[in-house]
Structure 1
Amino acid sequence: MRDGFGLRILRSLLVGYTRLVRRVAPAGAIWDVGRFLGLGALEAGWMSVRDEFDGLEQARARHEFEDVAGMDLGLEGSWQAHFLVEQGQALPAAASCPATMALLSQIQGLRGAYFSVMGPGTLLRPHAGPNASILRAHLTLRTPEPIGAAGLEVDGRRIEHRAGEAFVFDDTYLHSAWNRGASERATLMLDLQRPLPAWFRPLDAAVQALWGLHPARRGGLARLIELDAARNG
């Protein structure tokens, strides 16, 4: 679907769906980590996750988020990743992270997982995600000093990265991210299925089928697999 009439219709449908979801399952821009089974265990095991991230850094090349997305993300600076799970499918890097994958297996509704690395002096300008079915979570592994040098602002609320702590937010709200520090900020970033009433889930499944036509989604897994094979063999 090219950036024409059809894409404009799809974007309008997704905006309308976001409004509907917020009425059906209201929770606001920032969610309680305790609502998600398995995130507490992930926080408790964060040092094992960090150690596996460090090992992956030595073994595999990172990917640029914009290369994987195939589009401009409104980025100033450097934002890269090691992808473990995409669209529910484990990727080759996951084999190097058994402890992390064991912890992720306990998380309900996991749809994506990747180590996200934001370079010093990076800004991700204010934007809003298009898919209301997904919530985003971060487990902070490394963050520059002082506290607040790296963080997000979601719907006017500031979140500061702190090593070993997780947070969950709804990225359909306007949000931005930054690293104003002198070192990299590294997190384990998760895509989570938004909790929805059982009666509403068939509609969500239908909307997700349409979401597969969006440029941010269409061909993303195949593109990632191809890029990873080229960079990491």
Structure 2
Amino acid sequence: MSDKSRAGGAAEPRRPRTPSAFLKFVMAVSGVFLLLYVVLHMIGNLKIFFGPESIDEYAAWLRTLLEPALPYGGMLWIVRVVLLVSAIAHIWAATVLTLRARRARPIKYAGGSHKVKGSYAARTMRWGGVIIVLFVIYHILDLTVGVANPNGVHLEAYNNISAGFAPDRWYITLFYIAAVVALGLHVRHGIFSGMQTLGWSSNSREHTIKTVATAFAVVLTLGFISVPLAVTFGVV
């Protein structure tokens, strides 16, 4: 009889678990990369208010960054790869942490199901994340690839945006606004949580950080939704 049989069939050693602190750090760092892109993307979108030439030239300029050190569009592809890796890391860390939190609270409260108290943004981070992912997929098909855009001509940013948010496509505008609002809630909660993870938060600064995070999220949200609303209502 083998030693394993005499021991009654010893269980295989468990794989080491990724520390929660590391997962939170991954979420914070990947969130910084994603947030930086979102801010720059919003600023670029606002060029539509300066006319067709401004935003079309901006779209062309993005593809010539660091030429001739990089080929045409090279920098843009580097940014896309970094964003993809950041998004995957962010979603992976969030999923693992969420599953662990659920396993840590297996017992329901007396009297039926009861949600743990928390801010509205914190409770909606999961479904908000799903909306954002779905929107990003559509946004790429619409304004990057062009297959979901009525105009869909490469580098005609102004015409593509104008066609995408035309008045008769009001449902697209509503979807865009819903996704941006979800992004704003996500950003507000993410900034506060990220600063806690990176050790930049304390009880004395909590109110200030929440205020700054809220103001930042509001500006970001208004900046993004101003473009589709301006197109839908004929401002641009």
State the TM-score, normalizing by the size of structure 1: 0.24
Structure 1 or 2: larger strand share? Answer: 1
State the TM-score, normalizing by the size of structure 2: 0.23
Q: In terms of Rg, which structure is larger?
A: 2
